[in-house]
Structure 1
Amino acid sequence: MNVESLIDDTIEQPLVLWLRSKQSAIRALNEIEQLFQKLEKQVVEGELDEFVSLKGPVHIGKGSRVHSHVEIDGPVIIGENVSIRSGAQIRNFAYIGSDCVIGHSADIKRSICLNGSKMQDGTFVGDSVLGAGARVGSGAILANRKFNQSSIRFQDEHGDVVDSSREFFGAFMGKFARLGANVVLSPGTVIGEHTWVGSGCILHGTFPPDQLITAKQELVVVPKDRAILKSGRGEYEHI
């Protein structure tokens, strides 16, 4: 994915220049550690609730709020006006742009999430790049490792299959792409800018911009007998 599919006019100019110097999302992901070279200590300009755990070098920008029971293991950069909900975990080499939302119990690691992106409750985003304004619905998973732990391949914008030479590689999502609840993206999936994926889809491959992707399902509806269930109160204490 070309970096122009990721950025919009909300992205800070130094980051735009860095991304454009990489030209492609895969190169930006491969060289993500460059973003953290000057991060040597903890700088907290936002608000931390009780029981927040910070380890290693972490930057939290102005206007951001980290709710209780969040774990942040640096190096991590969090921009301005970011909301990080309780139970979330943000791990090594995660770059979270300004105006982002990270939902309850979300897990973000070694990824670039550009301004305005939202990773809702219970999501996993690993070794991925999310464009500006991209949204990952509740329960969605950007899987980042194959069963056989081999190098992950993906299809670029020219239709060529590229070996990433990476054992861990999640997905690329263009700006304003959107995943519905409980979507699963297999390792190496590419979602074009402004493409929306409906709830429950399981995807692998490269999908162009400006598409709506939904899954068909066949429902089986049959009559059933009524049953009055036990309350469960006091029923399981002995187990």
Structure 2
Amino acid sequence: MSARTAPALDARTAADLLVALLPSTVPLTVAPLLPGAAPAPTETAVVATFVGATSVELVLVAETAVAQSLAGQGGVSLADALRPALEAAAGAFGHGVLDAAEVRPVGGDLTGDALTAFALEADGVPQAWFGVRPRAQHPGVPTQRSSSDRPAAQRADMRVLYDVEMTLTAEIGRTRLPVRQVLDLVPGSVLELDRTAGAPADLMVNGRLIARGEVVVVDEDYGIRITEIVSAEQAAG
């Protein structure tokens, strides 16, 4: 892959991985960034460079989207709060190292022909923005730093995000219908889903598959008994 070619497929995977770990209090979905829908140049961006077999610059504008989660959580910088999401996004490009992030006005960071950009939306309204820009390749692939390599104080700061609530959804199957049949639905209609009876349900966090499990009943309410944890590679596949 040329360093000047935007890795569009990997960029979309990166966006899906990022949005699942973004500490937003509302579920966000990934959509293409349409003309005129970019953030104002004065909005705050967190920019980090990933160096590996595929080297990219990651641009995330999400200060407003995570403001409620960080309210009153003194000592946690915006860059630290968004670091787990950026690291998840970097995983879409293989092994490598994500450098320390820089916080700066977004300016023109979400523009340019080499950029692949997305809007992170709630109910169709952009709440945050994410972009991937390819960088020149470097010889060799650095070893990916693990979370244990971070300073203890930084890991402790991340604990203030542990109480941020994220939306979990159980999905037992899907189907596709033409608009004509959707309009013909009435009480009593039966839809055949793309999953056999007894197959495990999917457990989604903010739209990303994280686990599968059996549907159970707990005190007259439905529940999910986890039977499988889905890796990031399986979810992306």
TM-score grouping bracket, smaller chain normalisation: under 0.3
| Structure of higher RCO (CA pairs closer than 8 Å, 6+ residues apart) | 2
TM-score by length of 1: 0.23
Give the TM-score, by structure 2 length.
Answer: 0.23
The structure richer in helix per residue is: 2
